[in-house]
Amino acid sequence: MRVSRVLMAAGLAVLVSVGSVAVLSAQAKTDEDYDKLMKAVGAANGAMRKAPDAAATGAEAAKLVALFKDAQQFWTARSNKEAADWAAAAGTHAAEIEKAAKAGNAEGIAAHQKELGGTCMTCHTKYREKTEAGFVIKKG
Ligand code: HEC
């Protein structure tokens, strides 16, 4: 019993240290976290658009699904339902892109990429502000 508890603690410690390295699984809490999250979204989105094949498209879309889940939780924690809903919608389109990629459905990929791009724009128009120091969250 005692041994298994020690093992569990050791296992947890490993999980925690792995989690802090894996950007995708870390929950964004501060404005700085969110900035990193959006940079990762921008990178995955860019890679998805330039993906050489459907498999690569699907892999980048899967990253976006995880990132937008994080974004949704970030906005929910800040009691901003509108932004949380837009993050959720972005995640849904990313999931549809992943599905279409698996099915080799180029039209489905294109249609949901367009919808996804619209969602980025909608949220940026209301909540993103450009300052001399870079992009920041605009207070509603
Ligand atoms: C729910 C709202 C929301 C959605 C949806 C959203 N963003 Fe953002 N994004 C923001 C906010 C707010 C900022 C400014 C905060 C910051 O960058 O620190 C931002 C900043 C960015 C930045 C600038 C990061 C930097 O500082 O260099 C990039 C790139 C970006 N978003 C890409 C995207 C892309 C691509 C999508 C869609 C695939 C997307 N975002 C969807 C809210 C959103």
The answer, yes or no, to whether any atom of ligand 1 lies below 6 A from the CB of 74, is no
pLDDT over 90 at 3, yes or no: no
To test the pocket of ligand 1, the residue of 23, 38, 64, 139 to mutate (highest count of ligand atoms within 8 Å of its CB) is 38
Give the tens place of pLDDT for each residue, 112-140: 999 999 999 999 999 999 999 999 999 86
Residue 29, C-beta contacts closer than 8 angstroms, at least 6 positions apart: 74, 77
pLDDT 10s digits, 63-82 = 999 999 999 999 999 999 99
Mean predicted confidence (pLDDT) in 42-57: 97
Rg over CA atoms, the chain = 17
Whole-number Å distance between alpha carbons of 81 and 133:
27
Q: Which residue of 64, 65, 68, 135 sits with most ligand 1 atoms within 8 Å of its CB, as the best mutation to test the pocket?
A: 135
pLDDT of residue 7: 61
> Are 92 and 69 a contacting pair, CB within 8 Å?
no
pLDDT of residue 2 exceeding 70? no
Ligand 1 centroid, distance to 121 Cα (angstroms): 9
Residue 25 is predicted with a pLDDT of: 55
Give the pLDDT score at 18.
Answer: 46
C-beta of 88 in contact with ligand 1 (< 6 A): no
What is residue 8's predicted lDDT score, i.e. its pLDDT? Answer: 62
29: left (phi over 0), alpha (psi -120 to 50) or beta: alpha
Please classify residue 21 by burial: count the beta carbons closer than 10 Å to its beta carbon, then call 0-12 exposed, 13-18 middle and 19+ buried: exposed
Q: Indicate left, alpha or beta for 136 from its phi (over 0: left) and psi (-120 to 50: alpha).
A: beta
Confidence of residue 30 (pLDDT cuts 50, 70, 90): very high
pLDDT of residue 20: 41
Rounded mean pLDDT, 89-96: 98
Q: Residue 104 has what pLDDT? A: 96
**Region at 55 (left for phi over 0; alpha for psi -120 to 50; beta for the rest):** alpha
Q: Is residue 137 in contact with ligand 1, taking CB distance under 6 Å?
A: yes
Record the tokens describing residue 44, joined without a space: 């995955």
Minimum-distance ligand 1 atom for the alpha carbon of 45:
35
